[in-house]
Amino acid sequence: MEAVMEAEHAVPLGVTALFAALLCALILCLALEEKLHAKKSIIVGCFAVVSLLLATYLGGPDGLLPFGAVLVGGHEIQMPVYIPAIDWGVIAIILGSSLFVDVTAKSGLFTWIAIRLTKASGGDPLKLLWCYGIMTVVFSAVLNNVTAMIIVGALTAVSLGKLGRNDKLLGFLLIEGLLTNVGGLLTLISSVPNIIVGRAAGISFVEFFVNASPFVVVTTVVTILMGARLFDVRRLATDEERDQARKQVAGFDENDGIESRGFFWFGTVMTGFFILVIATTSALPGISNLGMGFVALSFAVIMLVRFKAEVDQFYKALDWDLLAFFAGLFIVINVMEHARVLDLIGKGLEKVIAMGDVAGTGAVLISAAVFSSVTDNIPLAAILAKILGNLGTPSDSALWWSVVFGANLGGNLTPIGSASTLVAVTIMHKHKLPMSFAAFVKAAIPFAGIQLALATGYVLLFLR
Amino acid sequence: MAQIDQFESAFKSASKTLYEHAEVEIASVLVVTDLATAKAEAYAGRIRGFLETLGDDVSWRTVLGEEYGSAEALLPLVEQANPDLVVTYRNLHTTSWRFPHSLGSCVNVLTQVSRPPVLLVPHPLAGRELDHALQNTDRVMCVAGHLTGDHGLVNHGAYFTCPGGTLFLAHVEDDTVFERYMETISKIPEIDTKVARETIAEQLLKEPVDYIESCRAVLREAGVDLTVEDVVTRGHLVSTYRDFVQEYELDLLVLHTKDEDQLAMHGLAYPLTVELRAIPLLLL
């Protein structure tokens, strides 16, 4: 039996097992990121270094890695073996989008929208929950989950404080945290797993939106209704209370953060244009070849012209930990591919898929959710996308959607499951609200359970 | 997370205190003097002219010097009259008015014990009042250590301003305190001193400016016939307000004297009340 398996592997099974153990160790370390007091980029960077060294010295005289020149556009180019391992398209999208959002935020657009919605609610807690819930979903879809949670969470803390409703802050923040991962499902660029899986599967922006949006709408409504019930968020009872609340939120000035009216409108137009171009990238001649990364970077550059003398401030504010994490992660995954670890996992996944169209697809979704609840969903998405690609999974397969839904919604099971829920918990702690790991799981399980049930049903009924 | 704090700061900055207008009602005025009948009535007549804006329906009563001799004897008189406003001057029943260093025991106690506001006018014999003093109230200034949210102060200022007059809403940030903090910040490597100086100074003055803007809008909406001017700056508190009296030719200064946390006069109020003797002060 062992001889047969050895024959199937161009790489010795022992070497594959060693790298598999290394991958498990990486995932474990990422899950224990908080305990290790180490940033993701350093964790994955260490594993990338070790993986590259082991892959160079193990696996025979030539090692496991394809050293030598790389063929780019018919030209042989010398470059380090770990450079082509990185998916620069994904890095470009994240880098460009982050810069674009950071500069656009300076225009005051997002705070303007947030305050206008607060005023539109008239300070009524239930209306406020609906406004903030929908805003969280939309911001998560357009910006990124973490930025959306920061903006909405910060506003929630300030506005509930002003309204004297601090007793509702914990419920609001929890619901918003859970909705960031729902909103993160709305478009192809709303979350990193979407970008990775979407690119691997060849799903276009419009196709992604059309398939995901009905689920996002239904799940948002269900989550807010559940949240209002569980956290006892009700409408104000008397005219006097309503009048008082209206006066309190009237004190918010949506124009306070707008330093230049011209830049505000420029930011507004550019945001609309950015979404339009990103949505139609695959249909735009020429641009479709350059890709979404080019679009994101181009829009970032255009916005940065406004701050041409101080662009370094925006570069400093970039999430370099996240970008370095991606680069390191892609290197590790590339090594794992050469060490046949992904083949090994793929074989396991094939068995799950072989459970049948219904059970297999559902099992992939649930297992992806459980896995991403305890560790970062990005490595999960990257590994599964690679494996599904290697298995020749067609782009219209429901399995891609199982990974997308599972990886995003799994983040709602625990506070460490996604960066945005972690931000929600951070804001809770900042405002001295008790929320332990166990308390979060206990509070979030009913929401996450319903969301995963809806997702499984949706994928099996409409996307299969 | 720095970004959470950044956005919370942005939203806190956008959350502004709006002025709430309420009518002040003054139906009776008690003029407390230490003079004999004729001089007291003449003085009270001058005060009535000065406070013409209160209207004709106000009932006036004058306390003569012979009716009391101490603060202990004055308080029951005030209590019995139960006025909405007490008008008096410093150093009652003493000759200390010759020295501009005190208020006298009667005024000291009256401002802290009596419910109604006290209008402190220049002493009739001291001759320190400015030429335009006690003529009318067309240029009134509200003074506060923290103007934002002090609706009562603004309401009184607006009430005492003649129709068509100007209400100055003043906020002076204490330069000495500011520099003390900046000096401390300059010794903390983690804080950029230049940024701190610029942004803190800007934010300190922005809040009262925003509040004054709200006062202007609400008073206009309420149909109150006056012009609101903002005087928001940094400086040495007492000397800056002393300069304002001259610079803006003020007829009346409105300020708080009571402090919930202490029996003595509110911090800035005492030096201002002692020193600004050339125009009337309305002490709330």
Other CB atoms within a 10 A radius of the CB of residue A248 amount to 18
* B100-122 confidence digits (pLDDT tens): 777 777 888 888 888 889 999 98
Is residue A118 one of the residues assigned to a domain?
yes
Residue in chain B lying closest to A152 (CA): B7
Residue B90, pLDDT above cutoff 90:
no
Residues A288 and A236: their CA atoms lie apart, in Å, by 51
Nearest CA in chain B to A151: B7
**According to the model, what pLDDT value does residue B165 have?**
94
Beta-strand relationship, B118-121 and B281-283 = antiparallel
Tell me if B194 is assigned to some domain.
yes
DSSP character string of B201-219: HHHHHHHHHHHHHHHHHHH
> Is A271 inside any structural domain?
yes
Strands B226-235, B28-32: parallel, antiparallel or unpaired by DSSP? unpaired
Q: Which backbone phi and psi does B29 adopt, to 5 degrees?
A: -125, 135
Indicate the burial class of A217 (C-beta count within 10 angstroms; 0-12, 13-18, 19 or more): middle
pLDDT at A280 over 90: no
Q: pLDDT of B207-232, one tens digit each?
A: 899 999 999 999 999 999 999 999 99
User: Does residue B31 lie in a domain region?
Assistant: yes
Between these two residues, A344 and A46, which has the higher pLDDT value?
A46
To the nearest whole percent, how much of chain A has pLDDT over 90?
A: 51
Residues of A in contact with B16 (CB under 8 A): 251-253, 256
Residue B257 lies in a domain: yes
Helix, strand, or coil here: A420?
helix
Q: Which domain holds residue B70?
A: 16-283
Q: Is residue A277 part of a domain?
A: yes
- Res A94: pLDDT: 83
So what's the pLDDT on residue A9? 52
Indicate whether A451 pLDDT > 70. Answer: yes
CATH number, domain containing residue B160: 3.40.50.620
CB-based contact (8 Å) between B194 and chain A?
no
| pLDDT score of A3 more than 50 | no
pLDDT class for A60, splitting at 50, 70, 90? low
Instruction: Let me know if residue A255 belongs to a domain.
Output: yes
**Does the residue A10 lie in any domain?**
no
Q: Kindly indicate the confidence band of residue A332, based on its pLDDT and cuts at 50, 70 and 90.
A: very high
Asked if residue B10 belongs to a domain, the reply is no
Verify whether the Cβ–Cβ distance A158 to B16 is below 8 Å: no
Domain count, chain B: 1
Q: Which residues of B touch A159 (CB under 8 A)?
A: 11, 15
Mean pLDDT lowest among A219-228, A277-286, A359-368: A277-286
pLDDT (tens digit per residue) in A342-377: 888 878 888 888 888 899 999 999 999 998 887 678
Test B8 with A256 for CB contact under 8 angstroms.
no
Residue A58's pLDDT is: 84
The answer as to whether A246 is a domain residue is yes
What pLDDT, on a 0 to 100 scale, did the predictor assign at position B2? 59
What's residue A1's pLDDT?
Answer: 38
Average pLDDT over residues A44-64: 88
Q: Is residue B20 part of a domain?
A: yes
ipTM at complex level: 0.75
pLDDT digits (tens, 9 = 90+) for B244-260: 988 999 999 999 887 76
Which of A30-39, A271-280, A378-387, B153-162 ranks highest by mean pLDDT? B153-162
The answer to whether residue B1 scores a pLDDT higher than 70 is no
Q: What is the mean pLDDT of chain A?
A: 89
B192 domain-assigned: yes
Confidence (pLDDT) at A2:
43
Task: Write the CB contacts of B178 (distance below 8 Å, at least 6 apart in sequence).
Answer: B200, B201, B204, B234
Which pLDDT score is estimated for B271? 83
Q: Which residues of A touch B12 (CB under 8 A)?
A: 158
Contacts of A257 in chain B (CB under 8 A): 10, 13-14
Neighbouring C-alpha atoms within 13 Å toward the C-beta of A40: 22
**Residue B149: left if φ>0, alpha if ψ -120 to 50, beta else—which one?**
left
Q: For residues A330-335, give the mean pLDDT.
A: 91
- Give mean pLDDT, residues A83-92: 88
Highest mean predicted confidence (pLDDT) among A139-153, A261-275, B55-69, B102-116:
A261-275
> Is residue A82 included in any domain, yes or no?
no
At residue A166 the predicted structure's pLDDT band, cuts being 50, 70 and 90, is: very high
pLDDT for residue B264 is more than 80 = no
On whether residue A244 sits in a domain, the answer given is yes
Write down the pLDDT at residue A145.
83
B21 touches chain A (CB under 8 A): no
Beta-carbon separation of A423 and B4 below 8 A:
yes
In chain A, how many domains are there?
A: 1
Predicted local distance difference test score (pLDDT) of residue B262: 67
Domain that holds residue A231: 88-317
**Residue A360 pLDDT:** 92
Pairing of strands B252-255, B281-283: parallel
Any domain includes B1:
no
